[in-house]
């Protein structure tokens, strides 16, 4: 890849629903932590910067991602706030910036590169979408041709929006020239009082930036919040490795 690329991995989540004292991203898939799968893929790409957002007690994650940089999210104020914590470490970075959830270890190098190439085409925000067998709980991607008009959370969606089967995987890539300006403009006027990364699409469009989404494999974008979902990730990875 010719352009500069950075990655921000969100790794501050706790393993509570996994019934573990380990941070969620440290839970193993086929003998390797979820976040290590992501780091290994990124290192193959030789990207310029990898920054992981960790919790105040996230020393084990810091050690796992070393020698790459980390920053601390002191309070969990939402995904938009988590990404913003990386701002001091990426100040002035004007390449593509991928934002990756640390519990989605199966996204491939090809998909990462595809998102970066979309930034090179002139998009300000690129979202990886997918079409799950059961879209019920996922945010919906509202498309008009190649343009992504917005992301609507399931609980906020009307009947027509809930009928959309193109869903948000969580993985997003930004033009680094605009990323932190976009994050600065995201508000927290919602029931949880949190700063949602998904609001970045509306903010970017209001700034006159183009946004788009492309489709990935549901197994590739799978994440794990429970031990059952972790076991599914193992199945998917073993199937891929045996293909």
Planar angle of CA 81, 213, 129, nearest 5 degrees? 80
The pTM score is 0.96
Which of 68, 84, 5, 14 minimizes the C-alpha distance to 36?
Answer: 68
What gap in Å lies between CA 67 and CA 242, rounded to an integer? 31
3-class SS at 128? strand
- Strand ranges in the chain using DSSP code E only, listed in sequence order: 5-10, 28-29, 32-33, 49-54, 69-72, 96-101, 125-130, 140-144, 147-152, 167-175, 211-215
Neighbours of 92 (CB within 10 A): 6
pLDDT tens track for 46-90: 999 999 999 999 999 999 999 999 999 999 899 999 999 999 999
Which one of the listed residues 17, 137, 162, 240 is annotated catalytic?
Answer: 17
pLDDT of 168 > 90? The answer is yes
Q: Which domains does the chain have, with CATH numbers?
A: 5-242 (3.90.550.10)
User: Which residue is associated with the tokens 């609980």?
Assistant: 155
pLDDT of 234 > 80? The answer is yes
Cβ partners under 8 Å of residue 121, min gap 6:
none
Q: Are 182 and 77 in contact (CB under 8 A)?
A: no
17 among known catalytic residues: yes
What pLDDT, on a 0 to 100 scale, did the predictor assign at position 17? 64
């Amino acid at each position: 890849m010719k352009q500069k690329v950075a990655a921000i991995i969100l790794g501050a989540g706790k393993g509570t629903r996994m019934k573990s004292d380990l941070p969620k991203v440290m839970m193993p898939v086929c003998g390797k932590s979820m976040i290590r799968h992501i780091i290994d893929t990124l290192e193959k790409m030789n990207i310029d910067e990898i920054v992981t957002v960790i919790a105040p007690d996230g020393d084990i994650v810091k050690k796992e991602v070393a020698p790459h940089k980390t920053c601390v999210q002191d309070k969990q104020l939402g995904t938009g706030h988590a990404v913003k914590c990386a701002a001091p470490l990426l100040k002035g970075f004007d390449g593509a910036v991928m934002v990756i959830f640390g519990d989605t270890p199966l996204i491939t190098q090809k998909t990462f590169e595809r998102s970066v190439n979309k930034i090179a085409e002139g998009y300000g925000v690129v979202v990886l979408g997918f079409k799950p067998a059961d879209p019920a709980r996922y945010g919906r991607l509202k498309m008009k041709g190649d343009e992504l008009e917005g992301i609507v959370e399931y609980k906020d969606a009307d009947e027509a929006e809930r009928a959309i089967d193109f869903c948000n995987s969580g993985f997003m890539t930004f033009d680094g020239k605009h990323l932190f300006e976009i994050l600065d403009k995201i508000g927290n006027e919602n029931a949880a009082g949190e700063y949602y990364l998904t609001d970045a699409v509306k903010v970017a469009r209001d700034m006159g930036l183009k946004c788009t989404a492309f489709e990935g494999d549901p197994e590739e974008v799978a994440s794990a919040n429970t031990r059952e979902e972790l076991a599914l990730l193992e199945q998917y990875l073993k199937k891929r490795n045996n293909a």
